[in-house]
Structure 1
Amino acid sequence: MLSGVATGAYAVGIEPIRQPRVKRYQLVPTNWPAGLKLRLVVLADIHACTPWMSPQRIGEICQQANALGGDMILLLGDFLSGMRLRTGHVEPEDWARELARLSAPLGVHAVLGNHDWLDDPGAMAAGRGPTLVHGALASINVPVYDNRASRFEKDGQPFWLAGLADQIGPWEGLDDLPATMAQISDEAPVILMAHEPDVFPTVPERVSLTLSGHTHGGQIRLFGYSPVVPSRFRNRYVYGHIVENDRSLIVSGGLGTSVLPVRFGSPPEIVVVELG
Structure 2
Amino acid sequence: MPISMRIAFFIAVILLHVFIYFILFKNISASPMIKHLGKFIVFVNFFCIIIFLKLYHMQMNPILYTILSSTLGIFWISLSVAFLVFIIAMCIRFGFGYFTLYQLQPKILLIAWCVIGILVSLSFYLNAKKPSVVEQTIEIENLKQSLNVVLLTDLHIDVLMDKRKVAKLVQQSNELKPDIIILGGDIVDNYYPIVQESVKELGGLKAKYGTFYVLGNHEYYYDTYTILRALNNLGITTLINQNIVLRNLGINIAGVADLAGQRGTFKQSVLAPNIIKTLESSYERFPTIFISHQPKIIKYFNGENVSLVLSGHTHGGQIFPFHFLVMIEQPFLQGLHSFHHGNKDSQIYISKGAGWWGMPMRLFDTREISFLHLIPKQ
Coarse TM-score class (shorter-chain normalised): 0.7 to 0.9
- 2:280 paired with 1:194: no
Q: Residues 239 and 253 of structure 1 are in contact (CA less than 8 Å); yes or no, is this contact kept in structure 2?
A: yes
Which of residues 217, 220, 226 is equivalent to 2:316? 217
Paired residue type of 1:15:
L
Aligned to 2:335: 240
Cα contact 1:50–1:90 (8 A) shared by 2 = no
Deviates more, 1:194-203 or 1:53-62: 194-203
Q: Which residue of 2 aligns with 1:164?
A: 256
Report the secondary structure of 2:245's partner residue.
strand
Cα distance change of structure 1 residues 58 and 157 upon mapping to structure 2, 3 Å threshold: closer
Q: Which residue of 2 aligns with 1:32?
A: 142
Is 2:235 the partner of 1:138?
no
- CA deviations on 1:13-47 (whole Å, 9 max, x unpaired) are 22222100011110213x333x4111110100001
Measure the CA separation in 1 of the matches of 2:193 and 2:114: 34
C-alpha deviation, 1:205, in angstroms: 5.0
Q: Which has the higher contact order (CA 8 A, sep 6+)?
A: 1
Task: Give the SS at the match of 1:238.
Answer: coil
Per the alignment, residue 256 of structure 1 pairs with 355
Higher strand share: 1
Q: Give the letter aligned to residue 2 of structure 1.
A: C
Write the mapping of 1:76-225 to structure 2, written as runs, cut at 5 A.
76-81=184-189, 91-118=194-221, 120=222, 123=223, 130=225, 132-153=226-247, 156-169=248-261, 170-171=263-264, 172=267, 174-203=272-301, 204=303, 206-221=305-320
Structure number with larger C-alpha Rg: 2
Amino acid at match of 1:36: Q
Aligned-partner Cα distance in 2 for 1:157–1:133? 29
The verdict on how the C-alpha distance between 1:44 and 1:231 changes in structure 2, with shifts beyond 3 A counting, is farther
The whole-number CA distance in structure 2 between the counterparts of 1:70 and 1:221 is 32
Contact between 2:187 and 2:216, CA under 8 Å: does it hold in 1? yes
Q: Percent identity?
A: 26
Residue 139 of structure 2 aligns with an amino acid whose one-letter code is V
Question: Compared with structure 1, are the counterparts of its residues 147 and 264 closer, same or farther at alpha carbon in structure 2 (3 Å cutoff)?
Answer: same
> What one-letter code is carried by the residue in structure 2 that aligns with 1:232?
E
What's the secondary structure of 1:207's corresponding residue? Answer: coil
Q: Distance in 2 between matches of 1:116 and 1:230?
A: 22
1:10 is matched with 122
Structure 1 Cα separation of the partners of residues 366 and 193 of structure 2: 22
Tell whether the 8 Å contact from 1:212 to 1:251 is kept in structure 2 after alignment. Answer: yes
Q: Secondary structure at the match of 1:41?
A: strand
Q: Aligned pair in 2 of structure 1 residues 195, 216: CA closer, same or farther (>3 Å)?
A: same
Q: Residues of 2 paired with 1:199 and 1:247: CA distance?
A: 13
Q: Output one character per residue of 1:65-103: Cα deviation in whole Å (capped at 9) or x when no partner.
A: 001121000001112337xxxxxx983321222111100
Q: Which has the higher helix share?
A: 2
Amino acid at match of 1:238: L
The 2-side partners of 1:190 and 1:231 are apart by 28
Q: Which amino acid aligns with 1:217?
A: G
Q: Are the structure 2 counterparts of residues 21 and 90 from structure 1 closer, same or farther at C-alpha, using a change threshold of 3 Å? A: farther
- Closer, same or farther: CA 45–250 of 1 in aligned 2, 3 Å: same
What residue is the counterpart of 1:48 in the other structure? 157
The correspondence for 2:175, drawn from 43, 60, 67, is 67
Q: Could you state the TM-score of these two structures normalised by the residue count of structure 2? A: 0.62
Q: What SS is found at the alignment partner of 1:91?
A: helix
- Structure 2: segments with no counterpart, 5+ residues: 1-112
Task: Determine the C-alpha separation between the residues in 2 that align with 1:147 and 1:192.
Answer: 10
RMSD of Structure 2 on Structure 1 (CA): 2.1
Whole-angstrom distance in 2 between the partners of 1:265 and 1:256: 15
